[in-house]
Amino acid sequence: MASAPLPLEAAPISFGTDGWRGILGVDITVERLLPVAAAAARELEASAPPDLASREVVIGFDRRFLAPELAEAICAAVRGAELVPILADTPSPTPAASWAVVERGALGALVITASHNPPEWLGLKIKGPFGGSVEGDFTQRVETRLAAGGITVPRPGPVQRFDALGTYLAGLKAKVDTTALAEGLQRLGLRVIVDPMHGSAAGVLPALLGEQAVASGAIEEIRSGRDPLFGGHPPEPLAPYLQELITAVQASTAAGRPAMGIVFDGDGDRIAAVDETGRFCSTQLLMPLFIDHLAGCRQLPGTVIKTVSGSDLMQRVAEDLGRTVLEKPVGFKYIAAEMLAGEVLVGGEESGGVGFGMHLPERDAPFAALLLIEALVEGGVPLGQRIDALQQRCGGAAAYDRLDLRLPDMAARGRLETLLNATPPAEVAGAAVQEVIRTDGVKLRLGPSHWLMLRFSGTEPLLRLYCEAPGEERVAAVLDWARQLAEQV
């Protein structure tokens, strides 16, 4: 995989949608990380609810190069802020840190991770006392503290460690009957093949389903060893990076044992799947299944939250089951805010983040995987058959794809943004635009399960194109039309 040229100078410290990330050794260094960790810890203390007396800050980390060492280093920064760092004893999924915060009643968590970014990246995520990512106003206050130049002297000392992974596994087992899931897979002759992409969720599902499930072949894992280069690809659950998993699933199915592939990103907060035919299933297909299972089978209460880039199938399934649907801008923080404010059944975004109201206001891919297996065991058929039946019940199949288009510069981005705001297209690839939606970017509604969305990155000349249409050829045609529009401006 050809990497982009490394920057020669560090970018300003700035938090994005979920933390601060950058190139290790350029943007992310010990000298820059310690003040950020100290400022974040002080802000966790200052923003804590009045009835929270804890002094603990959970420290987690993933499997990236230097992540364990940097996690131990920021313990000194937290201690220098007169707080108590509690360090995970092994790499663990980011939601394990969130779970530990709630379990321990801690102030929050600092997690050394770059999530799904390329191997040369690293970063810091901040979790609040509620067990989810802090909001933008919190990180703005952290940036204000850094700009003010206050000094917190790191204080070395003995590090208190805890079994983050064991605590997390015990918590998931208390919520889902994993023994019943393992027995159900064996009874139905289904196999689950897990691809953690060399990330920190490796070993989680086999440990949850148990030794007998592993011995019987009901669950197996590939690419489970630590590899800071992630096999040469970003640890992001996208089809182009999953050929080994797709091949393994197809081989199992061809041999007479239908399989489902489950894939986690580098820090275990995003999920995707592969059905028994080898079809890649993003959350555009998994979210409707979660809705159907939790509302229809489990009869759990709550509203469904989807982002504006989410498939129409989510809304159709939810409405078929009498559930209210809220459509939000892209970003899990909007979903988490609804989870903290009211009763939510499930909330998800197209990029793989799914959260559940009966769990944490947080993306938790292993927990989502358990519920996905539960849905298949309950339905008694493989994933692809279940999704196909759901699509037919609620309006027919549709295809989806996304294209990230790098524009020449910020000026080109500005011209295109001005054009879309002033005179959005009245026609897209031969189809009349029926509605213009501006929840996030510009979404052009062309018909049922047929839309194009254009959304700009907040910090760089990058245009994200999303399309859902009745078939793959139509999706490709609409995305090509949108690409030509952008290149002509």
Task: Determine phi and psi for 445, rounding to 5 degrees.
Answer: -80, 125
Per cent of the chain over pLDDT 70 is: 98
pLDDT at 338 over 50: yes
pLDDT (0 to 100) of residue 18: 84
Question: DSSP labels for 313-344?
Answer: HHHHHHHHTT--EEEE-SSHHHHHHHHHHS-E
> How many angstroms separate the CA atoms of 311 and 26, rounded?
38
What average pLDDT does the chain have?
Answer: 94
Q: Do the Cβ atoms of 124 and 143 come closer than 8 Å?
A: no
Token pair of 109, please? 């968590």
Q: How confident is the model at residue 149 (pLDDT cuts 50, 70, 90)?
A: confident
Question: DSSP labels for 358-417?
Answer: TS-SS--HHHHHHHHHHHHHHHTS-HHHHHHHHHHHTT---EEEEEEEE-S-HHHHHHHH
The secondary element (H helix, E strand) that includes residue 432 is: strand 431-432
- Give the CATH fold of the 176-393 domain: Alpha-D-Glucose-1,6-Bisphosphate; Chain A, domain 3 (3.40.120)
Mean pLDDT in residue range 350-375: 96
Mean pLDDT in residue range 364-374: 98
pLDDT digits (tens, 9 = 90+) for 244-284: 999 999 999 999 999 999 999 999 999 999 999 999 999 99
Q: How confident is the model at residue 3 (pLDDT cuts 50, 70, 90)?
A: low
Q: Of 489, 485, 468, which is closest to residue 427 (Cα–Cα)?
A: 485
Q: Do the Cβ atoms of 452 and 466 come closer than 8 Å?
A: yes
Q: How confident is the model at residue 458 (pLDDT cuts 50, 70, 90)?
A: low
Which amino acid appears at position 85 of this protein? Answer: P
Write down the architecture of domain 20-168 according to CATH: 3-Layer(aba) Sandwich (3.40)
In eight-state DSSP terms, residue 133 is: B
**Given this structure, which CATH class describes domain 399-488?**
alpha beta
pLDDT (0 to 100) of residue 6: 66
CA-only gyration radius of the chain, Å: 22
pLDDT at 182 over 60: yes
pLDDT (0 to 100) of residue 171: 97
Strand partners, 123: 21
Please give the model's pTM, rounded to 2 decimal places. Answer: 0.94
pLDDT (0 to 100) of residue 1: 42
pLDDT (0 to 100) of residue 242: 97
pLDDT at 68 over 50: yes
> How many angstroms separate the CA atoms of 128 and 86, rounded?
15
Q: Do the Cβ atoms of 363 and 371 come closer than 8 Å?
A: no
pLDDT at 167 over 80: yes
Q: How confident is the model at residue 4 (pLDDT cuts 50, 70, 90)?
A: low
Per cent of the chain over pLDDT 90 is: 90
Neighbours of 207 (CB within 10 A): 17
Considering the chain, tell me which residue range(s) the CATH 3.40.120.10 domain(s) occupy: 20-168, 176-393
pLDDT digits (tens, 9 = 90+) for 102-139: 999 999 999 999 999 999 999 999 999 999 999 989 99
pLDDT at 410 over 90: no
Considering the chain, tell me which residue range(s) the CATH 3.30.310.50 domain(s) occupy: 399-488
Q: Do the Cβ atoms of 125 and 26 come closer than 8 Å?
A: no
pLDDT digits (tens, 9 = 90+) for 277-314: 999 999 999 999 999 999 999 999 999 999 999 999 99
